[in-house]
């Protein structure tokens, strides 16, 4: 089956990213450690470099904070435990882990079970799609319609049409007096109107420059005025058309929740994206989404409990499965790139980073707007309030630094600070 083949490809791709196998449980190390830290491979936050070893935004940030806390005598020896997201959440709640520095988003549900540090990055739930390099003329028309429908635009268009009518009258009068158009007076009226109309259009949109057929200074001034206005007009018109076409090529149309509810998606196992999708109403359930397709978290809370079987692991998924879960975002993106799913619903920061990597650049587009904002923080066991206070002091000192933005961009790339 194609999906099973793609799973094998995805696993091989994950190995290419340097993703070692993680245990299913977060078992503390056998030797004594003052702080046990949960990690999982999740570029660009934590990844295994074949030369430099484990590194990434949060790993290097923690190394800096750890060094200062140990120097001050706040903490002692630390130990890393690698395990998947679901196991990390459970271990934090049970106190088996003291800290998780791999990417975790702060949600109300998670705060009921363990603590978080201060927010260090903004993110949210969004959608990744396959990039389409062709021109979507329907999308371009929609962009133009949206632009023309904005408040004040119709009035400006009306003013322009009136001004253009005046200019057309002046041009026609000038043409009748010019030597180049004297022979036109002997032609039939329909042909004369056609000639005057075409010349008016060409001059008004700035497709022709100044000529030498003006017989008076006043006519020359009018011609110069028309050329200036025509150049501005043509630049505006062609600018709008270019923006609409470029927007349609870049896939600027937002993916709605209605589209997600009726599509096959991939997401990270045990993530907030999985829970979000499982609570989306389906057409079969007879629950309409209405026109406002951007649902708030509060509206999701009043829906029936999600079906436990609505999302299944990709290894046991069938062609009828609406939602498949993967062990990493890389695997989910690989499924999308190979056409086995329609969308990837997930974390904006990680999806946007992965879409810029050489393996996926130009093939994957990530929506910049989000369905729900979810800031990043480090998870801390509720049994270690003193650890949270110490980490918060060090973390805030670094975030307030003028260099923080450049540090984030160094790991995540330009534009990787926050979604819209």
In sequence order, the 6+-apart residues with CB closer than 8 A to the CB of 143 are: 243, 244, 247, 248, 252
DSSP helix/strand/coil, 323? strand
Whether omega before 225 lies within 30 degrees of 0, making that bond cis, reads no
pLDDT of residue 420: 57
Cβ atoms of 281 and 289 closer than 8 Å: yes
Q: Cβ atoms within 10 A of the Cβ of 323, count? A: 23
The first and second tokens of residue 399, run together, are: 């975030």
Do 128-134+254-373 and 18-120+374-412 fall under one CATH topology? yes
The first and second tokens of residue 191, run together, are: 């042909």
Q: Is 375 exposed, middle or buried (0-12, 13-18, 19+ CB in 10 A)?
A: middle
Q: How far is CA 22 from the centre of its chain?
A: 29
Q: 18-120+374-412: what CATH class?
A: alpha beta
Q: How far is CA 357 from the centre of its chain?
A: 15
DSSP β-bridge partners for residue 79: 36
Digit-coded pLDDT (tens) for 113-126: 999 999 999 999 99
Angle at 40 between CA 80 and CA 365, to 5 degrees: 155
Q: What is the pLDDT tens value at each position of the chain, 420 positions in all?
A: 444 444 444 444 444 443 444 457 888 777 789 999 999 999 999 999 888 889 999 999 999 999 999 999 999 999 999 999 999 999 999 999 999 999 999 999 999 999 999 999 999 999 999 986 555 555 556 666 666 666 666 776 667 666 666 665 666 566 555 555 555 556 676 776 676 666 666 655 554 544 555 456 666 666 666 666 666 666 666 666 666 555 555 444 578 888 887 789 999 999 999 999 988 875 433 333 333 333 333 333 333 444 444 899 999 998 888 899 999 999 999 999 999 999 999 999 999 999 999 999 889 999 888 999 999 999 999 999 999 999 999 999 999 999 998 899 889 887 656 675
Digit-coded pLDDT (tens) for 166-187: 665 666 566 555 555 555 556 6
pLDDT of residue 50: 86
Digit-coded pLDDT (tens) for 381-414: 999 999 999 999 999 999 999 999 889 988 988 7
Q: Is 152 exposed, middle or buried (0-12, 13-18, 19+ CB in 10 A)?
A: exposed
Q: Tell me how far apart the alpha carbons of residues 19 and 40 are, in angstroms, rounded to a whole number.
A: 9
DSSP β-bridge partners for residue 99: 37, 380
Q: Tell me how far apart the alpha carbons of residues 351 and 345 are, in angstroms, rounded to a whole number.
A: 9
Phi (first) and psi of residue 121, to 5 degrees: -160, 150
Cβ atoms of 216 and 187 closer than 8 Å: no
Q: Tell me how far apart the alpha carbons of residues 260 and 246 are, in angstroms, rounded to a whole number.
A: 25
Rounded (to 5) percent helix, strand, coil in the chain? 45, 15, 40
Cβ atoms of 81 and 38 closer than 8 Å: yes
For the chain, the domains span 18-120+374-412, 128-134+254-373, 139-249
Span 128-134+254-373: which CATH code? 3.40.190.10
Radius of gyration of the chain (CA): 30
Tally the C-alpha atoms within 13 A of residue 273's C-alpha that lie toward its C-beta.
30
Angle at 108 between CA 104 and CA 110, to 5 degrees: 45
Cβ atoms of 350 and 109 closer than 8 Å: no
């Amino acid at each position: 089956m194609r999906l099973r083949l793609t799973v094998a490809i995805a696993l091989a791709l994950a190995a290419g990213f340097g993703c070692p196998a993680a245990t299913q449980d977060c078992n503390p190390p056998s030797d004594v450690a003052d702080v046990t830290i949960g990690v999982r491979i999740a570029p660009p936050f934590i990844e295994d470099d074949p030369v430099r070893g484990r590194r990434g935004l949060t790993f290097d940030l923690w190394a800096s904070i750890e060094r200062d806390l140990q120097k001050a005598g706040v903490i002692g020896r630390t130990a890393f435990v690698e395990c998947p997201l679901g196991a990390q959440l459970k271990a934090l709640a049970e106190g088996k882990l003291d800290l998780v520095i791999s990417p975790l988003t702060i949600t109300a549900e998670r705060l009921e079970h363990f603590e978080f540090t201060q927010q260090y990055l903004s993110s949210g739930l969004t959608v990744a799609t396959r990039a389409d390099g062709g021109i979507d003329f329907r999308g371009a028309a929609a962009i133009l319609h949206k632009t023309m429908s904005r408040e004040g635009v119709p009035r400006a268009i009306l003013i322009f049409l009136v001004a253009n009518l005046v200019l057309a009258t002046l041009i026609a009068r000038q043409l009748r007096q010019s030597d180049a158009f004297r022979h036109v007076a002997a032609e039939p009226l329909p042909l004369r109107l056609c000639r005057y109309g075409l010349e008016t259009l060409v001059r008004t949109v700035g497709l022709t420059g100044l000529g030498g057929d003006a017989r008076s200074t006043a006519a020359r001034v009018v011609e110069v005025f028309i050329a200036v206005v025509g150049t501005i007009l043509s630049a505006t018109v062609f600018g709008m058309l270019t923006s609409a076409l470029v927007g349609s090529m870049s896939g600027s149309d937002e993916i709605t929740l209605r589209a997600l509810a009726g599509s096959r998606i991939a997401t990270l196992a045990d993530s907030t994206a999985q829970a979000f999708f499982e609570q989306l109403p389906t057409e079969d359930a007879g629950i309409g989404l209405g026109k406002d397709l951007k649902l708030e978290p509060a509206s999701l809370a009043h829906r029936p409990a999600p079906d436990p079987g609505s999302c299944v692991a990709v290894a046991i998924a069938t062609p009828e499965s609406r939602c498949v879960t993967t062990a990493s975002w890389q695997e989910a993106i690989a499924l999308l790139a190979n056409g086995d799913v329609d969308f990837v619903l997930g974390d904006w920061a990680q999806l946007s980073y992965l879409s810029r990597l050489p393996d996926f650049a130009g093939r994957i587009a990530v929506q910049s707007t989000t369905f729900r904002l979810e800031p990043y923080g480090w998870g801390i066991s509720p049994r270690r309030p003193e650890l949270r206070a110490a980490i918060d002091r060090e973390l805030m000192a670094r975030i307030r630094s003028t260099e923080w933005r450049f540090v984030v961009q160094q790991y995540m790339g330009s534009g990787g600070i926050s979604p819209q």
